[in-house]
Amino acid sequence: MASATVPLLDDDTIPFGEEDEMRDPSRASQKYTHPYVTFFHLFFRGASIVIYMFCGWFSDSFITSFVFVVLFLSADFWTVKNISGRLLVGLRWWNYVDDDGKSHWVFESRNSRINKHEQRIFWLGLILCPFFWGLFFLMALFGLKFKWLLLVMIAIALNAANLYGYIKCNYGASKDLNSAATDFMKTQLFKNAFDIMTKPNTAAPPTNVRPTGVV
């Protein structure tokens, strides 16, 4: 987590953790409090995958396809790192260099009201897209398409950077990924068990019906 000695970002127009004060009160009762941010969180990620899959239908030029996919990947990386993670789940990760020239990574989380729908969409998009790029990597590798393999590796690197950063933010910068994954599984198991135990029994009560017939 961020310490007191961590400097502020130069472009931090709204201090981290004070986003709720700038929120429109009329959106508090809506299903999505940040609809545009939620849309673009998925748009750039999905667009890069769709362009990669169907670019051959529109152009035979590898350079053109490469440039468009990298542009959308870059827009996605910047949007997820600087906007959607901060507004949708209250997390942020970044890097700074101190006066001694040492590089420091900062993983921040804030306690605020998080929209459950937006939170679910954020993590689904963050986790599922690297899975698709992993499949593309295997297809390009076994298909011996080495020029496309380079593009897929760029996509995996950008997606994995955000995924790793936000896992660190969510579960603590002092934990490694193994302990974070273990904590996540424990949380999900306890949550599912609690839901099963507290779920009301909606089954209809049995009725006592005597069989008809001659005694």
pLDDT of residue 75: 96
Higher pLDDT, 1 or 104: 104
Confidence of residue 14 (pLDDT cuts 50, 70, 90): low
**With the C-alpha atoms ordered 69, 74, 75, 76, is the resulting torsion angle positive or negative?**
positive
Instruction: Tell me the average pLDDT across 167-196.
Output: 64
Confidence of residue 210 (pLDDT cuts 50, 70, 90): low
Q: What is the pLDDT of residues 71-112, one digit of tens each?
A: 999 999 999 999 999 899 989 888 888 888 888 888 888 766
40 contacts 48 by C-beta, under 8 angstroms: no
Structure tokens, 109 = 């989380």
Confidence of residue 3 (pLDDT cuts 50, 70, 90): very low
Q: What is the pLDDT of residues 121-142, one digit of tens each?
A: 999 999 999 999 999 999 999 9
pLDDT of residue 2: 45
DSSP label of 161: H
Q: What is the mean pLDDT of the chain?
A: 78
**What's the rounded Cα separation, in Å, for the pair 69 and 58?**
13
Q: What is the pLDDT of residues 38-75, one digit of tens each?
A: 999 999 999 999 999 998 888 888 999 999 999 999 99
DSSP label of 203: S
pLDDT of residue 183: 61
